[in-house]
Amino acid sequence: IRLIIKNRPLKLPLLFQFFLKKKSLEMLRAFTKCLLTNGVAGRRMMSQGSLAGKVAIVTASTDGIGLATAQSLGKRGAHVVVSSRRQANVDKAVSLLRSENIQVTGTCCNVGNSEDREKLISTTLEQCGGIDFLVSNAAVNPFFGNILDSTEEVWNKILHVNVTAAFLLTKQVVPHMEKRGGGSVVLVSSVAGYQPMQGLGPYSVSKTALLGLTRALAPDLAQSNIRINCVAPGIIKTRFSTALWQSEDLRNELLKQMSIKRLGKPEDIGEVIAFLCSDEASFITGETITVTGGMNSRL
């Protein structure tokens, strides 16, 4: 321990060092006691583990927003089930989450495939014993261009993966959430669901459909004590949105539309989703929360 007096380091006598160490220990003890007895601070501590014992399925969770969501839920104590189309990506995500002391199970699941969805549910039940949360995060966009050039095949694929699969997965988890006395579903939409993005017409429409799906399901799911909400991210720096932020001109154009002048980070979304799953959001259902840094998001 050194004190700087008039720019000259001064070595403290050993006895005084011992006294300071003892004082630090006492302060640490007092601080811990205060956390345990102080209601507000104690609650804050508890909220870090507030999802302990819960099981969360997050689709498309080996990268980007899905992976960050698994981290946000996992660090609050939930057991997360991560999945995506490629086994190598699943293995990588599982290792990363384990290295962060998160309880995790991994399995392959292309959400557009009904057998894969079945396997996702059965693996979760076998390995974790139940389901409390579903985060439907997977989406595809196989088309960029003038909406009038988009084909039936493009529409079928986009609506099937982005909307129908989100609904079917929700329907599949309901009986299992009922067995646990309730649960929470979060659908991942997009700011493009409010204001269609140029070149992304069919994708934008699929994201608008999720706002409607959230509202349509909320009353029925509430009867089973299941809440359903939606998150609409703005421009988040991930591989999916590379085309939007890699070009400096386009990035600057998008930044002009935001109040907070930066691209979003995957964890900006993961934290909001974890909140929506938690008991702190127990009176919120049928809503869409926009997380866009202030981009215009009105239908």
Ligand X SMILES: NC(=O)c1ccc[n+]([C@@H]2O[C@H](COP(=O)([O-])OP(=O)(O)OC[C@H]3O[C@@H](n4cnc5c(N)ncnc54)[C@H](OP(=O)(O)O)[C@@H]3O)[C@@H](O)[C@H]2O)c1
- Rounded Cα distance, 88 and 286, in Å: 35
Q: Does 241 bind ligand X (CB under 6 A)?
A: yes
For the CB of residue 295, give the shortest distance to ligand X in the complex, in Å: 10
User: Which of the stretches 16-24, 47-55, 136-144, 271-279 binds ligand X when contact is defined by CB under 6 A?
Assistant: 136-144
Residue with Cβ nearer ligand X (63 or 178): 63
Please identify which residue in 73, 120, 135, 161 interacts with ligand X, judged by CB under 6 A: 161
Q: Which of 51, 135, 138, 158 binds ligand X (CB under 6 A)?
A: 138
Pairing of strands 8-11, 2-5: antiparallel
Which residues, 96 to 115, sit near ligand X by CB under 6 A?
109-112
Q: Which one of 239, 259, 283, 299 is in contact with ligand X (CB under 6 A)?
A: 239
For ligand X, which is the closer residue by CB, 112 or 286? 112
Beta bridge mates, 9? 4
- Give 105's strand partners: 81
Known catalytic residue at 194: no
Interface pattern 58-97 for ligand X (x via CB under 6 A) = -xx-xxxxx-----------------xxx--x--------
Task: Give the total of residues touching ligand X (CB under 6 A).
Answer: 29
Checking DSSP bridges between strand 133-136 and strand 79-84, what pairing results, if any? unpaired
Decide: residue 26, CB within 10 A, 0-12 exposed, 13-18 middle, 19+ buried. Answer: exposed
The DSSP string of 206-238 is: HHHHHHHHHHHHHHHHHTTTEEEEEEEE-SB-S
